[in-house]
Amino acid sequence: MAQLPTIGNVNIAVIGLGYVGLPLAIEFGKRVPTLGFDVNEARIAELQRGQDSTLEVGAEDFAAAEQITFTTSPADIARANVYIVTVPTPIDEHKRPDLSALCAASRTVGSVIAAGDVVIYESTVFPGATEEVCIPVIEEISGLKYNQDFFAGYSPERINPGDKVHRLPDIVKVTSGSTPEAAAFIDDLYGLIVTAGTYPASSIRVAEAAKVIENTQRDLNIALVNELALIFEKLNLDTSEVLAAAGTKWNFLNFRPGLVGGHCIGVDPYYLTFKAQSVDYHPEVILAGRRINDSMGGRIADRLIRMMTKAGIHVVGSRVLVLGLAFKENCPDIRNTKVIDVCRELEDFNVTVDVYDPWVSAEEACREYRINIQRELQAGRYDAAVLAVAHDEFISMGVEGIREYLKPEHVLFDVKSVLPADQVSGRL
């Protein structure tokens, strides 16, 4: 059996430098030799300049990571002995796991991995994916044998984009390995950078399952309050007031209704349900929650249209301002944003939709969604506005600031319930 590296001689390569991979590479680069690898040449060029368009890593962190090098060349990472894969794992148009990036990264690792090396996966997957999908790819490309020539582990990412309080070192890290020795090594490795501590799982499959249910649980809780919001609308009750009253009980869980997008909560449950169906179990509760949350963009648009009609505003040919495109507040991430569902539904009513989001790249929005982000707003132009994302800038504007851009007869809908209830036309 090949010999594992020691903590004293590790040379790490992080494969994929997005929201997850870059903070990880930077933290390791503060302590051990680290290579950051990505196939996106523009991304590598900005990182080499000490810039991060995701805004997750600041100049001081780049400066502190004295042992990091960024590259697009697979040949460069051949000198590593630990490979950490942090590529995206989205879903396809049929809501099935898309493992193409994961398999491509595994082929890259397979082309350079040597005897004794360790590969660790952080990308969200279904239980079993690491050993059933990824490892066979590495074995085929490398000609090496799993747990004899090389070893593996899984340590689920817990990055929360835009969160400046819960950073990588401050979040407990679940770790696992393919052998007891590999598990111990991987746990020690993450212990170098995670001050909050680690939690060694008993197996790779347990660690994979733990990750996928973290966001499934959140998804279901949000689906519940979204359904409550739909019920309370028909009962003429303010959802925020009901939740505030119920929240006075010590064990009431504080979830809020809203749009559920992003690369985790709106995606991960489909990985679990895909695996469940493969073993002849049809999930009911999880998929019911997904259906509710996936429907919310259309429901919000329908409600806005009804409110405009009741206010005597001619819907066809009207102009609506949507405030926010990112999937969450104070973050430029537009992956799987459900704000786009609101926009598309409104457009189906022949409404002209203008989107304003100071956090989002106009080029990325156009490329991903064919949305032209407004950079300047014209006063008194809009028949309605939807506060879709609770960016600090929008909260600071307040109702009066937003109304500067609305016509005298207008509708203002607050998806996030951050504006005073008595000063808006409606809220979720």
Active centre residues (catalytic): 264
Helix (H) or strand (E) holding 420: none
Show the CA angle centred on residue 413, arms to residues 223 and 249, nearest 5°: 45
Are the beta carbons of 243 and 225 closer than 8 angstroms? yes
Go through 139-175 and write b for each residue having 16 or more CB atoms within 10 A of its CB, e for each that does not: bebbebebbebbbbbbbbbbbbbbeeeebbeebebbb
Spell out the residues 6+ positions from residue 259 whose beta carbon is closer than 8 angstroms to its own: 296, 297, 300, 327, 337, 338, 339, 341, 342, 388, 415
- Measured CA to CA, the distance from residue 428 to residue 422 in angstroms comes to 13
Spell out the residues 6+ positions from residue 155 whose beta carbon is closer than 8 angstroms to its own: 120, 121, 122, 173, 174, 175, 176, 186, 190, 207
For residue 416 the two structure tokens come to: 């996030």
- Measured CA to CA, the distance from residue 61 to residue 52 in angstroms comes to 11
Q: What is the DSSP letter of 316?
A: T
Are the beta carbons of 300 and 349 closer than 8 angstroms? no
* Three-state SS at 64: helix
Q: Phi and psi (nearest 5°) for 354?
A: -110, 130
For residue 16 the two structure tokens come to: 């994929």
For residue 209 the two structure tokens come to: 């399952």
Burial of 191 (0-12, 13-18, 19+ CB in 10 A): middle
Spell out the residues 6+ positions from residue 84 whose beta carbon is closer than 8 angstroms to its own: 12, 13, 14, 15, 21, 24, 119, 120, 121, 122
